[in-house]
Structure 1
Amino acid sequence: MKDILSRAKAYLCVCLLLLTIACKKEQKEYKVVEGLSADLTTLYVDHLTKSFESLDQMKGKSLPEQKELYAVARKYFKLLEPVLAYTDRNNYKSLNAPNIIQVKGEESKDTKIMTPIGFQVIEENLYEDEIDAETLNRAINVTSARLKLVKGNVALNLKDYHIIWLIRDQITRIATTGITGFDSPVLNESLNESALTYKTIADIIKANAPKFSTPEKMNAFIKSIEAAQQDLKHDYETFDRFSFIKNHINKQLKLLVEIQKDWKVKFPFEMALSNDMTYLFSDDAINMDYFSDHLSDTTKIDQKIAFGKELFNDTSLSKDYNMACATCHIKDLAFTDGRKTFDENQTRNTPTVAYAAYQRGFFMDSRAGSLEGQVVGVVKNHNEFNMTMDSVVSRVLKNDLYKQKVQDLYASKRLDFNIRHAIASYIRTLNKFNSKFDRNIRGEENTFTEEEKLGFNLFTGKALCATCHFAPVFNGTVPPNYKDTELEFIGVPQTTDTINAKLSEDLGRYNIFKTEERKHFFKTPTVRNIAKTAPYMHNGVYTTLEEVMDFYNRGGGAGLGIANDYQTLPFDNLKLSKQEINAVIAFMKTLTDEEY
């Protein structure tokens, strides 16, 4: 009997031991390493859990109940956004993607058409007049499953410089997409949601309180967040985004630099946003080398830029000695040519090369992946330079001064590439960020009119311009990671006829890879210097900004009666008044750089 009892006790001890080990394993499901405390990691996991649990509870509920549960799920998603967006960018991007079909893998010839998932998809479907239950339920199920996948793979390993990068990204995200309505397409809850993400930033700062040498720096940052949250308690349409960026975003960026100095943070390298960024709208906010693999070649860069400028203006690079880069890209017109198309042989309007460095695709259909690659496209085009790169190299070497410069400036013997690199290096200098707008939002002068301020607030708010033309470049390169430059189908017409409008015949991106879902898609260009770059659109159909604004106000091609399945504008029509249209135009005119 004693033997049986002894065995039973031993068995019970083993069971208890195994149970204890299992519990410990359960507790260690989420790795907590340097940077974020255990409490904060637990909070992050809690937000994930509450978000997908609220989505799961939507199934089978009445429409009002579903809307309430969606709001809860979205709230917790926004609370976890700063950490998720930094530590798991691909999943964050999917979970927060616009409700439009995604095309991936064209360049690698592994094209995939992706049905969108995520919160924007749920929101748009949930508030449709006639709800497609199957589409809505799919979006809920897949979004919930993705959040659960994220939870199952949580392993936060953040060093001090990661935390600074995470916070800088989120501050920039608030300024560039958060307050613009980019990811709240129906409910316009962007201001409240931005306040929620600020709460998480504050939690992260408080969790790292021991790292501050003096509490004043931490307290100043927390107070700046609280002040911003207070101002975000405002009506979406009348919110003063200009003053918010000027008074809050700028201050927070400066304070963050002070924090990283206080923590003695050493960054291993630069990301898209400068490690010492103090203004969003400045020439040193975004790192140029983040957009090119070729900027490591910075020796004698000033001389290379000067050489590139000479080549940019030299007609000897074209077959008939009658065309240079500067022939179509005229400096006084902000590097455009003022024509609908350059000549009868061209089908597209000449885009500006100012600010061209800040993008991931070149030409209007994004067929080139770099500025150096774009030069090749111009050289080989029969209606432009009509040459081979070998012929260009030959002509450059026939010029004794050029030949000497190539030899002096480049150690590499890749003459073809060196010539292209010099031209690209010059183009990369055409980003001044010294317009009236830039100087005012940085606080260097106080010359902005009330109409111009209203125009900026409309551009980044009610008019939804900034949901495609992202700050600070106001092009299609998506902040704060700047890894993608978007292409859009907005339904540009062939003529200005608004009664019997016909879609432009140019198939855009489709011509490159023949992807059906990319017919009539074009890269989103910058609107900087737009007052100098008329006419507008890929085909130069509009000669005035008033015509452009009328097109958007009507709802793009769809608003003109052009039937299509893939238009990407996030609205049916804008319902802007004449006064509001004039204000947006007044703002856009303030984006003209000083030298133009």
Structure 2
Amino acid sequence: MNNILFMKAKTYTLGICLLLFMLTGCKEQPKTVNQQLSTNEQIQELYKSEIEQSIQALDSMSVLNATSDKIEAYKKARQHFKTIEPVLAFVDQNNYKSLNAPNILQVLEEDATDIKIRNPFGFQVIEELLHEEPLDTILLHQTINITRSRLSLIQANTAIELKDYHIIWLLRNQVVRIATTGITGFDSPVLGQSLTESQYTYKTLLTLVDLFKDEFSSETVYNDLKASFETAIEVLNHDFDSFDRFNFIQNHTDQQLKLLIKTQNDWQVTFPFEMAIANTAESLFGAKTLNVSFFTDYKNDTINLNAKAQLGKELFNDKLLSRNKTMACASCHISDLAFTDGRKTFDERQQRNSPTLTYAAYQQSFFMDGRAGSLEGQVVGVAENHDEFNLPMDSLVNRVMKHPEYKTLMTSLYTNKRIEYNIRHAIASYVRTLSSFDSKFDNNINGVEHTLTQAEKDGFNLFMGKAVCATCHFPPLFNGTVPPNFTDTEVELLGTPAENDTINATISDDLGRYDVFNTKEREHFFKTPTVRNIEKTAPYMHNGVYNTLEEVVDFYNRGGGKGIGIQEEYQTLPFDSLNLTTEEQANLVAFMKTLTDADFSTKND
């Protein structure tokens, strides 16, 4: 059980405990420390109280007979859970994820010898069970009991000790969580209470700001931050489908991120390290919003990084790296096509086409089946694949070191002697530069230009709301890496057909993630790709079955594979039609085309 904090450096935990022991043992304590301890006690009291009320509401569901009464009790339980979400999600990320997980079978694949299959539980599962006909009362009560037991466990075993920088992280995470999953309907799949629930979480942020009032030197910053949260609560009092998410993010989310910068400056906060969201993030869709080094295991290798990326670019474009010297990385990842290959499949030996490398850095798994854990690992996969470079890494190293220019650069840029690692790192460093965040959409939502049409704005609002696209393609990356922690990249079963056929459709014979560990529950699962630069990356899906974005939207609108007659037990898409009008579908396409980066928007036009 998480006893203290969500922290990446375990040494800080011991230091905090020792510091608190020393401080509480002194007769005369500085006022700021007394206030800090008192504030943590108040947060802990709020934390336990809300969890207790959620448990009581869940317990009441078991003695109520009418389904409508059970639903009302569930809403109360959910309200208290969401009220404490900002704190729970920060201090106990794993339990929060379990309690708020979608009603989808959980498959945990650490390696071939450690595969766990778990039935989901928690609030989303309860919500869906309550709306099934006939009501499965036995399964419902089982799920309620597991959920309340987990709540009881964390209530009894969580000690909250938050420092000033933790509060800033917590506030920032929740502001981003509301904008990226809260207002999208991600965790209220049936009742559609996402906007109301976002109001609950904002009220908790207000409570926290009040508890830390004495930290503020500037009354203006304190009042502005509170006013921003209060205004957001008012704006969220709106129906789900017509809510203007573009306006909300531009005028509320981004305003709050800027105010948090002022807050941390006012508090004179010193951060021990950076999380996925940069400590200086001022907008949701900013080029510097995310800390790209968070997404690599090689965070310390930053000396001469630009020169290393330039070396990586040269290696990326050099056919020397393949056995027959006929293929380079650039052979499959063509820059003018947003680093895809423009084919249904790369050649007759491949089942899949080449995914875009733009924004590839911001993931936790790589290749379409997620079999590699880093960009550096992906390089090895390509080199040793018989249908790609077909050159073992030791042979590739020999070739590189026999090249005079590469040898000089390798020895001058890297102080270590791990040449294989250095080659992989150089190429990966280049790929990490292929994310500019300067599309028409980015520039408009950041106020750099004002060129979006109403159809394009409507398309974004549909993407984030009624069309439920953003519940899999999460902003700001529009890929499957889940904000605000960005520690998981999701895989999905869409039911992609072998041919563009809505009458006699059969599923593609590519088993996707299954081929990694032969886990049956992962047949036909693929990683959720980014929608950024999608205008340049046709044809679509892993097998290129769709040639246009209009065809892709039609597939989703029908309900994915099941909507065209493909029966897959574990399909992760909603089965029902989205009931989008022809105009709404066109607006969705119009929005997606605004995600083309500036470097590609003028090419091949």
For Structure 1 versus Structure 2, the TM-score category normalised by the shorter chain is over 0.9
Q: Counterparts of 1:363 and 1:32 in 2: how far apart (Å)?
A: 50
Matched, 1:200 2:204: yes
Q: How does 1:266-285 map to 2 (within 5 A)?
A: 266-285=270-289
Once residues 78 and 379 of structure 2 are traced to their aligned partners in structure 1, the CA distance between those partners, rounded to angstroms, is 45
* Counterpart code for 1:180: T
Q: Given the alignment of the two structures, is residue 462 of structure 1 paired with residue 473 of structure 2, yes or no?
A: no
Kept in 1, the 8 Å contact 2:91–2:160? The answer is: yes
Point out the more displaced range, 36-45 or 506-515: 36-45
CA distance in 1, matches of 2:589, 2:69: 42
Give the drift of 1:160: 0.2
2:377 aligned with 1:360, yes or no?
Answer: no
Indicate the residue corresponding to 1:79 in structure 2: 83
Counterpart of 2:564 in structure 1 is 560
Q: Deviations over 1:419-477 (max 9, x none)?
A: 11100000000010000000111111111110000000000000000000011110000
Give the aligned partner of residue 436 of structure 1: 440
Shift of 1:37: 4.5
Structure 2 residue aligned with 1:57: 60
Q: Helix, strand or coil for the counterpart of 1:552?
A: helix
For residues 28-70 of structure 1, give each alpha carbon's deviation from its aligned partner in whole angstroms, at most 9, with x where no partner exists. xxx9964835333322211111001000010031212111100
1:180 aligns with 2:184: yes
TM-aligned CA distance change 1:419 to 1:460, over 3 Å = same
How far apart, in 2, do the equivalents of 1:227 and 1:492 lie?
A: 43
1:401 aligned partner: 405
The separation in 2 between residues aligned to 1:129 and 1:456, in whole angstroms, is 34
- CA shift, 1:141, in A, is 0.7
Of 37-46 and 515-524, more deviation after overlay is shown by 37-46
Secondary structure in 2 matching 1:222: helix
1:389 and 2:383 are equivalent in the alignment: no
Residue matched to 1:156: 160
**Within 1, Cα distance between the matches of 2:247 and 2:487?**
28
SS across alignment from 2:117? strand
Residue 295 of structure 1: how far off its partner (Å):
3.0
What's the CA shift for 1:105?
A: 3.4
- SS of 2:39's equivalent in the other structure is coil
What pairs with 1:234-253 in structure 2 (closer than 5 Å)?
234-253=238-257
User: Is 1:38 the equivalent of 2:41?
Assistant: yes
Determine the C-alpha separation between the residues in 1 that align with 2:193 and 2:326. Answer: 55
In the aligned structure 1, how far is the partner of 2:541 from the partner of 2:68?
A: 42
Summarize the Cα distance change of 1:314–1:35 in structure 2 as closer, same or farther, 3 Å threshold: farther
Gaps of 5+ in 1: 1-30
Change over 3 Å in CA distance of 1:105–1:345 after alignment to 2: closer
Q: Which amino acid aligns with 2:49?
A: D
How far 1:108 sits from its partner (Å)?
A: 6.2
Task: Classify the secondary structure of the residue corresponding to 2:283.
Answer: coil
Report the TM-score, using the length of structure 2 for normalisation: 0.92
Q: Deviations over 1:186-230 (max 9, x none)?
A: 011000100110000000000110111121111101111111111
Is 2:453 the partner of 1:446? no
Distance 1:108 1:387 in 2: 25
Secondary structure at 2:114 match in 1: coil
Partner amino acid, structure 2, of 1:255? L
Is structure 2 residue 122 aligned with structure 1 residue 93? no
Partner of 1:16: none
Out of 501, 504, 508, the position equivalent to 1:500 is 504
Q: Distance in 2 between matches of 1:563 and 1:35?
A: 56
Q: 1:550-589, CA deviations, whole angstroms, 9 ceiling, x for partnerless residues?
A: 1100000011111111000135221101100000000000
Query: For residue 420 of structure 2, what is the amino acid of its counterpart?
Result: D
Q: Give the 5 Å matches for 1:82-121.
A: 82-107=86-111, 109-121=113-125
Aligned residue in 2 for 1:303: 307
Residue number in structure 2 paired with 1:141: 145
Q: Which residue of structure 2 aligns with residue 515 of structure 1?
A: 519
Query: Larger C-alpha radius of gyration, 1 or 2?
Result: 1
Please say which of residues 108-117 and 457-466 is displaced more in the overlay. 108-117
Secondary structure of the corresponding residue to residue 498 of structure 1: coil
On the 8 A contact 1:35/1:160 being kept in 2, the answer is no
- Provide Cα deviations, 1:508-538, integer angstroms capped at 9, x if missing partner: 1111101111010000000000000000101
In the other structure, the counterpart of 1:24 is: none
Structure 2 unaligned regions, length at least 5: 1-33, 601-605
Residue-by-residue CA offset, 1:291-341 (whole Å, 9 max, x unaligned): 111131111111111100000000111111111000110111000111111
C-alpha contact 1:468 1:524 (8 A) present in aligned 2: yes
Report whether the alignment pairs 1:125 with 2:129.
yes
SS at the partner of 2:50? helix
Tell me which amino acid in the other structure corresponds to 1:227.
T
1:292 maps to amino acid: T
- Output the aligned Cα RMSD: 1.2
SS at match of 1:111: strand
Secondary structure at the residue paired with 1:113?
strand
Give the CA deviation at 1:591: 0.2
Deviation at 1:231, TM superposition (A): 0.7
Instruction: Name the CA shift for 1:35/1:288 in 2 (closer, same or farther; >3 Å).
Output: farther
Separation in structure 1 between the aligned mates of residue 57 and residue 112 of structure 2, nearest angstrom: 38
Aligned partners of 1:216 and 1:400: how far apart in 2? 61
Give SS of 2:181's match.
helix
After the TM superposition, list the runs of 4 or more consecutive aligned residues in structure 1 that deviate by more than 2 angstroms.
Answer: 31-41, 105-109
For these two proteins, the number of residue pairs brought into alignment is 566
Does structure 1 retain, via aligned residues, the 8 Å contact 2:383–2:389? yes
1: distance between equivalents of 2:302 and 2:562? 47
Alpha-carbon contact 1:33-1:156 (below 8 Å) kept:
no
Q: Tell me, what secondary structure is at the counterpart of 1:574?
A: coil
Give the match for residue 413 of structure 1: 417
Q: Distance in 1 between matches of 2:185 and 2:424?
A: 40
Matched-pair identity in %: 58
What is the alpha-carbon distance in structure 1 between the residues aligned to residue 241 and residue 532 of structure 2? Answer: 24
Equivalent residue runs for 1:214-253 within 5 Å: 214-253=218-257
Moved more, 446-455 or 55-64: 55-64
3-state SS in 2 of match to 1:112: strand
